[in-house]
Homo-oligomer: A and B are copies of this chain.
C-alpha cells in the first residue's frame, strides 16, 4: 500500500479513503459503515489504526459512533430560525426535514418559585409539565420541558395528551394565537440524562433556550426550556 515516497500516516490515509466514500455518496445519512474489524481487515492494518482514522471523521462531524452498534453517517446541522413566532415543526418542515415529537412525561404539579415567577403566577399554583424529545429524520435534536399555568389553562393537560402539538393544544385550551415574549440563550453542558436522550456525550455543550410565550392579551401561557444538541442545530436570529 505504501511506497517509500508516501509519508502520510496510515491512519490519515484511512480517514481520507472513508471521507472519499462519504463524498461519493456511497453511504446515506444514517447508514452504518463497515465495522472497525472489517475495515482493519480490508486495509490490512490493526483495528486501532482504523479507530484513529475514524476518530478524525468523528471530530469533523461526518460520522458518529455508537458503542456496540457501529459507526454511522451523521446528518448535517440544521439551521433553525428564531423569530417572535417560533414553531418547531414548521421550521423543520421548511428545512425539508421530517420532524417528530416524543412525549416523555406529562403531569400536573405545583410550580416552584422560579417557575411561578416566569409564568407570573403564585408559587405552588398548579402547572402542567410537558417533558419531551424532539427529533428530525429520526435523530434527536432537543429535549424540552414546557410549563403551562393550569389556573389559566385548565384543559391543557388533556389537550396535550391528545395532540403532541403545543400550538394545537393551546388552541383547544382556548388560546388561538400566541407570540414569543422573550427568549434567552445560554450554553450548558449536557447532564447524563440529557446526553442519553440526545445521543451525545455527557458534558457536551448544549444550547439552552429559555422562552416565554404569551397570549394576545399578554398573559404568559407557556414557559419553555429547550436543550438543543449543539452540533446538530444552529439557531439563527
Known: A112-B139, A199-B110. A192 touches B21 (CB 8 A): no
A11-19, A80-88, A161-169 - interface stretch = A11-19
For A152-193 the 0/1 string (1 means CB < 8 A from B) is: 000000000000000000000000000000000000000111
Establish whether residues A202 and B138, one from each chain, have CB atoms under 8 Å apart when the complex forms: no
Establish whether residues A138 and B124, one from each chain, have CB atoms under 8 Å apart when the complex forms: no
Tell me if A2 is interfacial: C-beta within 8 Å of chain B: no
Tell me if A95 is interfacial: C-beta within 8 Å of chain B: no
Tell me if A60 is interfacial: C-beta within 8 Å of chain B: no
Establish whether residues A192 and B140, one from each chain, have CB atoms under 8 Å apart when the complex forms: no
Task: List, in ascending order, chain B residues with CB within 8 A of A42's CB.
Answer: 102, 104, 133, 197
Establish whether residues A124 and B196, one from each chain, have CB atoms under 8 Å apart when the complex forms: yes
Establish whether residues B197 and A44, one from each chain, have CB atoms under 8 Å apart when the complex forms: yes
Nearest B residue (CB) for A20: B193
Tell me if A70 is interfacial: C-beta within 8 Å of chain B: no
Query: Footprint of B on A, CB under 8 Å?
Result: 5-8, 10, 12-14, 16-17, 20-21, 24-26, 42-46, 68, 96, 98, 102, 104-105, 107, 109-110, 112-115, 124, 133, 135, 138-140, 191-193, 195-197, 199, 201-203
Not counting A13-B195, A46-B68, a sample of 18 additional A-B residue pairs whose C-beta atoms are within 8 angstroms of each other reads A5-B203, A13-B196, A13-B202, A14-B196, A16-B193, A21-B105, A25-B109, A26-B105, A42-B102, A42-B133, A42-B197, A44-B140, A44-B197, A96-B192, A110-B199, A115-B138, A124-B196, A124-B199
Chosen A-B contacts, 21 in total, with CB atoms closer than 8 Å, are A7-B201, A7-B202, A8-B192, A8-B202, A10-B196, A12-B192, A13-B192, A13-B195, A13-B196, A13-B202, A21-B105, A25-B109, A26-B105, A44-B196, A44-B197, A44-B199, A102-B113, A112-B138, A112-B139, A112-B140, A115-B138
